[in-house]
Amino acid sequence: MFGGEVPARCDVAIIGAGFAGVATGAALAARGIEAILLERAAELGAFASGRGAGLGRQLAEDDVTAALAVRGAGLLRTHHPGAWSPTGGILTFDEPAHGRAYIARAARLGVAHEVLDRAGVLQRWPDLVGLRIASALYVPGDGVIDIRALLHALAAPLRIAFDTAVELVEPAGPGVRIATARGVIEARVVVDASGAWAGALTGDPGLDVYRRHLYVLEAAAQAGAPYLWHLGREEMYVRREGDGILVSPCDSTPTEPGEQPCDETGDLTLHDRLATAQRLLRAPITRRWACQRAFTPDRTMRLGIDPRRPWLVWAAALGGHGATCSLAVGETVADAVVRALG
């Protein structure tokens, strides 16, 4: 971390110090390359990376993202065991075919899993008796990520300039000129890891950004309960959070990048999702917040060297799995930066 003017020159500048930025910085450091991170906010985790639910779910919605999540979870277990709780995870479905698609994905990616019946699910989460459960999977290798601990561990050895908004990025010779609120930097390569803002500085199409709410309820979960993510029409997830329960009603409202205030959509959707879970519905809400998830139109992450601009590398569109995939994203992007440096 440093104050004052940014340096006039560097090999690699990374815009954004969320999971995409700090994981890339850490993976570059492991390859002997020091990057400078430029972060507009005054602290780590001001946006998605500090405000997620921390579910370490490996079986994402498509094979490419799931493969990154499997790799990311493996790296987390090995290199950051203090930020990973091996709780396991339950995925439930209200369409049998949907459940079968996830079982097939688990088999393709070699993810250990057990098929659960409805009773097996309710044994762990008895409050959720109203869930439509046509099929369910238990994934023992899933877990819960301490997102704050992970962000800080990754960021600790890095050079991060906070309060440093990047205002302009333009090609300069074989490299790139980056104008910031605290001076101009010439770099050989810039990494766009600016989360929901990715593309804004380079004139590229913006991402699709959606607001989602999270709640902490004053209600005890069973000791050792795995997280549960219902992947049905009435999507929702729950996990233990200290003495309480963290819930997301999985609302997804199109929005613009920025601060995401809580709105009534979150409360209404929560009420709807918990309609048959009377104990949870009545439990006091001790915290509520909202934040943004950012996607490309086809929902694949935007990672790697830009095809038209060799000085630009993407670490963007981490969507709803950016914490789980963070270390795999960092490795992938760092390899691309090494290639871009030549």
Ligand X SMILES: Cc1cc2nc3c(=O)[nH]c(=O)nc-3n(C[C@H](O)[C@H](O)[C@H](O)COP(=O)(O)OP(=O)(O)OC[C@H]3O[C@@H](n4cnc5c(N)ncnc54)[C@H](O)[C@@H]3O)c2cc1C
The footprint of ligand X (CB under 6 A) covers 15-21, 38-41, 46-49, 51-55, 165-166, 193-197, 201, 212, 214, 291-293, 318-324
Token pair 């790697």: residue: 304
Nearer to ligand X, 29 or 134 (CB): 29
CA distances from 136 to 66, 71, 92, 127, 306 (A): 18, 23, 4, 16, 40
Got the DSSP string for 80-124? -GGGEE---EEEEESSHHHHHHHHHHHHHHT---EEE-HHHHHHH
Question: Closest separation between CB of residue 223 and ligand X, Å?
Answer: 21
Question: Closest separation between CB of residue 194 and ligand X, Å?
Answer: 4
Pairing of strands 183-192, 159-161: unpaired
Nearer to ligand X, 85 or 118 (CB): 85
How far apart are the C-alpha atoms of 264 and 87, rounded to whole Å? 32
Question: Closest separation between CB of residue 257 and ligand X, Å?
Answer: 8
Nearer to ligand X, 76 or 219 (CB): 76
How far apart are the C-alpha atoms of 187 and 183, rounded to whole Å? 13
- DSSP E strands, 157-283: 159-161, 166-172, 175-180, 183-192, 208-217, 227-230, 236-241, 244-248, 253-254
Question: Closest separation between CB of residue 342 and ligand X, Å?
Answer: 26
Question: Closest separation between CB of residue 118 and ligand X, Å?
Answer: 24
Nearer to ligand X, 117 or 170 (CB): 170
Nearer to ligand X, 226 or 320 (CB): 320
Q: How many CB atoms lie within 10 A of CB 231?
A: 22
Nearer to ligand X, 113 or 211 (CB): 211
How far apart are the C-alpha atoms of 60 and 63, rounded to whole Å? 7
Closest CA to 252 of 292, 300, 207: 292
Task: Return the amino acid letter for 311.
Answer: W
Nearer to ligand X, 73 or 133 (CB): 73
Question: Closest separation between CB of residue 174 and ligand X, Å?
Answer: 23
User: Which structure tokens are listed for 189?
Assistant: 């390569």
Question: Closest separation between CB of residue 278 and ligand X, Å?
Answer: 25
